Amino acid sequence: MSVMKVLTGNAAVSFAVMQLKPDVVTSCPVTPSASIIENIAVAIANGELDCEILHLESEYSAISACIGASAAGGRVFTATASRGLSLAQEALFQLASLRLPVVIAVTNRAISAPLNIFADHSDSMAQRDCGWIQIYSENPQEAYDNTVQAMKIAEHPDVRTPVMICLDGFITSHAMENVWVEERDEVVDFVDRCPPTYSLLDTDHPVTLGSVAMPDYYFEHKINQEQGIENSRKVIKEVGKEFGDRFGRYYGNFETYKLEDAEYAIVVIGSSAGTAKEVTDYLRAKNEKVGILKLRVFRPFPYKELREALDGLKAIAVLDRSMSPGGYGGPLFTEIRSALFDLDKKPVVLPFIYGLGGRDLKTKHIDEIFMGLKSFEDNGKKEAEISFINLRVK
C-alpha cells in the first residue's frame, strides 16, 4: 500500500535505497549529495538497516570499493556529484567494463572553475561515454521511483550494467514535495535479488577479474560491454511497465506532454520539465500547438523511439543544461539532431544552452523559446546559432 510522505529528492533516494536492503554503501560525501549517505548512515546506526557503510578518503576510493563489493556478490550503492564524479572517472569506466550492477545517485552540480555548487548537468554529461545507464529525474517522486527501478535494471541477468540516477542539485535534491512511497516488503518483492554471475568469494569457482587485455582480445571485451547496455533498452521498458502495473506510476524512455498534435516542441531533461509544462498549458489555452518531450533515459539513447515521437513537428528546441565547448550545441542537441537525420521531412532542430551553475529558467524564457521557434520556422530558416538563455552579458 502506498503511503504519502513529504521528502526532499535526496531523502526520497535514501528511502528507496534503505528499502532495497543493500549489502554495502560507500561514502565520500560531496555537496549536494551528502544527505543521501547521511540518511542511510543514521538508519544503520539506529539498527533500521543491516548494511556495511564504508567511509572513504576520496570519491575514487568510494567507487573502487563499489567494484570490490559488487564483484564479491553484494548489492551496492553510492552517491556523489560534480568533482566527486569527475575524480572517480577511471573507476566508473572500470565498473562498467566489468559489468557490475552498482547504482549511484548523482545530484547534478556544476564543475569548477569558478567554484559553483548549484545545478547543471556538466558532471553526468561528461561521463556519458563511460558505459553506465543514465536515468534522469524531474522531481523527488521520480527520484524515488527511478532508484527502485535502477537496482532491478542493473541486476537483470541480461544487463549486469551499473546505473546512474541523476537529479538536479538543490532544485530536486533539497526541495520538499509529496512523494508516494511503497511498503518495504513490496519493494523487496519487486526488486527480487538476482544471483551474481560470479563472486570473488566463491573460492570453489575462481575467476580472474580485471586482467590485462591485449589488442587481440580488448575489442571483443568492449563489444561484450556494449551488449549489456544494449540489452537494457528492452529491460528498462519492461521494468517501467511492471513498476506501473504494481504501483500505478508508469515509466518509459521519455514522457510526452501534449505532443500528439503539436507543431512545435521543446526537448528537455530534469527539473526544468515542470516549468516547460506550465508554459505549455498556458500557450495551449491560447490555441498554440506546442508540446514537451521530457527525456528520462539518456543512456542508452532511445533514438528510434525519439525519431517516431518527434516526427511531423515543424521545429524543435533542444535545451541543454551543459555545454560542449567548441561543439555545435550541447550533448542532448547533438544526439537529438542525429536521431532525426534520416527522417524524410526533418523538423528544424535548434540548440539552446540554459541553467549553467543553477541559473534560473523562468516561464517567460520558455514562452520566448516557443515563440522563437514559430518565428524561426515561419522565416524559412534551416539552421541557427546556439542560443544562451537568461544570459546577463552577451
Residue 384: band (very low, low, confident or very high) from pLDDT cuts 50, 70, 90: confident
DSSP annotation of 155: H
Contact 327, 334 (CB under 8 A): yes
Q: What are phi and psi of 4, to 5 degrees?
A: -90, 130
Q: Is the CATH number 3.40.50.970 carried by domain 3-247? A: yes
The sheet that has 163-168: what strands, in order across it? 52-55, 24-27, 76-80, 103-108, 163-168, 133-137, 297-299
Q: Terminus-to-terminus CA distance in the chain, angstroms? A: 53
Tens digit of each residue's pLDDT (9 = 90 or more) over 164-189: 999 999 999 999 999 999 999 999 99
Write out the residue limits of the CATH 3.40.50.970 domain(s) in the chain. 3-247
Tens digit of each residue's pLDDT (9 = 90 or more) over 26-62: 999 899 999 999 999 999 999 999 999 999 999 999 9
The residues, ordered by sequence, that sit 6+ positions from 312 with a Cβ below 8 Å of its Cβ are: 345, 347
User: What's the whole-model pTM score?
Assistant: 0.97
Tens digit of each residue's pLDDT (9 = 90 or more) over 200-227: 999 999 998 888 999 999 999 999 999 9
Question: Percentage of the chain with pLDDT > 70?
Answer: 98
Average pLDDT estimate for 247-273: 98
CATH for 254-388, options being 3.40.50.920, 3.40.50.720, 3.40.50.980, 3.50.50.60: 3.40.50.920
Q: What is the pLDDT at residue 381?
A: 64
Residue 393: band (very low, low, confident or very high) from pLDDT cuts 50, 70, 90: confident
Q: What is the pLDDT at residue 143?
A: 98
Write out the residue limits of the CATH 3.40.50.920 domain(s) in the chain. 254-388
User: Which residue matches cell numbers 559553483?
Assistant: 116
- Grid cell, residue 269, equals 531533461
Average pLDDT estimate for 370-386: 81
At residue 268, the 3 state secondary structure works out as strand
